[in-house]
A and B are shown apart, each in its own frame.
Chain A
Amino acid sequence: MTVLGSAKAMTLCERMRRVAAIAATHADAVDTAARFPREAVDAMRHERLLGCQIPVELGGDGASVAEISELCAILGQACAAAAMVFAMHQIKVSSLVSHGEEDDWHRGFMVRVAAEQLLLASATTEGGIGGNLRNSICAIEVDGDTCRLQKDATVISYGTEADAILITSRAHPQAASSDQVMTVFLKDQYTLERTHVWDTLGMRGTCSDGFLFKGEAPAKQILPRPFAEIAAQSMLAHSHILWSAVWYGIAADAFAKAQAFVRAAARRSPDQAPPGALRVAEASALLQGVKASIVAAIEKYDAARLDEDKLSAMSFAVAMNNLKIASSQTILSIINHCMLICGILAYKNGTPYSLGRHLRDAHSAQLMISNDRILGNTSTMLLVHKQDTSLYG
């Protein structure tokens, strides 16, 4: 069950609301210049939110998935790029929290993330592999106590701003492409040579340039569990839930603008239902659907986490994939409705009802691990997995 009524959750949300207030004032500038949302990330550090997921005994707040999702949704309503940076960082932290607690180096690293408010980036996407994150071409080479890795990482969000990168590769040079590990490299343990520039339609502030990554680090920084396990047991769920929470935030902000637009019209002529009123009702139903799917996925994840078998079951993977497909598609319908409601004032930049940035940012959702790829995986699983047709369960 989600417990957002607790004092801890309320202070987390208050801290994120202060970050969101700052992020909102810079969101258009970040988008226009395709620059890193520095003010927002500085504010996250100031509010000590980068370590919020880390267990209390290691210096964090021990925030739950539900709480972090709420934080993503709050920030998503202010600046989607800053919210996606926060979400991606938290997805990396989840790998450490879920799979690194038993290991001395990774425990120590979590203490540092919380104490020094380190920002973590992710490098799973690879040239020649695309978004098929369960395969790698590059291989890590372990030589005594040292490991070395070179990767053609075509997308690393905020790569140059990060304090560490968690990067996937084959487990050794003879390993099969699906036999992967994930390794933490600290900023002074790698070089990045820019190969692609992130000049995109939306999500411009994530600064997801491509790089040739070359790193050398102590081999103990390789996460102790196979990446297959990390992907199935924590990354899949965290990614789809936290991304969806950010996307929900974008749609919720668009909805709030459309509703304000219609309410203003209604106040001007109270005897007449404004033309956009029905559309607001329609968008409200769609938004509720997205919200309900996210909450249901969080509850499913919380329940499955108590049982490793449930976490690696197909039904769980299908449910998480379905969340991603549904939320990434539905937010586009919602924002489009809102655009029709507000008309030209939504289409124009610089009005209180502008929705161009929302719509452009939202279009990234279907590509962030291509929906076709995800549908392909789900369709394979549905050849053997029989969908549960009960309402609960």
Chain B
Amino acid sequence: MPIIEDVRQIIASHGKLPVDVATLADDADLYAAGLSSFASVQLMLALEERFDIEFPETMLNRKTFSSIGAISSAVAELAPDEQVA
């Protein structure tokens, strides 16, 4: 499955968003959509588990988790063998 589809699925189950993830564009602001800092950590943990990666300190910031697209490119950077799109 392409990374972005996996990311969407993980956000749907761990992002605790008050809106349906399917309605969000790849570049929609997840914080404006209601992503809390707590849920963003749960999201990170789920992504680390799914892709067998570890987010380095430089990626542990708001920007990395600001949109579905941003998360997917961070994952793509850390898991070069995954299918990007």
Contacts and interface: CB of A to CB of B under 8 A. Distances in A.
Contacts of A385: 57, 60
Contacts of B25: none
A225 to B, nearest CB: 12
A177 B31 CA distance: 10
B45 interface: yes
Contacts of A268: none
Interface string B28-45: 000111111110010011
Nearest to A228: B31
B63 A309 contact: yes
Contacts of B61: 309, 312-314
Nearest to B48: A384
Interface string A222-257: 000010110010000000000000000000000000
A209 interface: no
Most buried by B among A171, A176, A229: A176
B45 A178 contact: no
A176 B58 contact: no
A178 B62 contact: no
Contacts, number: 58
A315 interface: yes
Interface in A349-393: 377, 380-381, 383-386, 388
A228 B34 contact: no
A171 B61 CA distance: 22
A175 B18 CA distance: 10
Contacts of A229: 62
Interface residues of B, number: 20
A176 B32 contact: yes
B41 A380 contact: yes
B57 A178 contact: no
A380 B57 contact: no
Interface string A156-198: 0000000000000001000111110000000000000000000
Interface residues of A, number: 25
A178 B63 contact: no
Contact of A315 (B32, B55, B57, B63): B57
A178 B41 contact: no
Given A179-B31, A384-B44, A384-B48, A377 B60 contact: no
B38 A380 contact: yes
Contacts of B31: 178-179, 226, 228
A312 B64 CA distance: 10
7 contacts: A134-B37, A177-B34, A179-B33, A312-B63, A314-B60, A314-B61, A384-B55
Given A312-B62, A380-B37, 20 more contacts: A175-B32, A176-B33, A178-B35, A178-B36, A179-B34, A226-B31, A226-B32, A228-B62, A309-B61, A309-B63, A312-B61, A313-B58, A313-B60, A380-B38, A380-B41, A383-B45, A384-B41, A384-B60, A385-B60, A388-B57
Ranked 8 nearest A-B pairs via Cβ = A176-B34, A314-B60, A312-B61, A312-B62, A179-B32, A313-B61, A384-B44, A380-B41
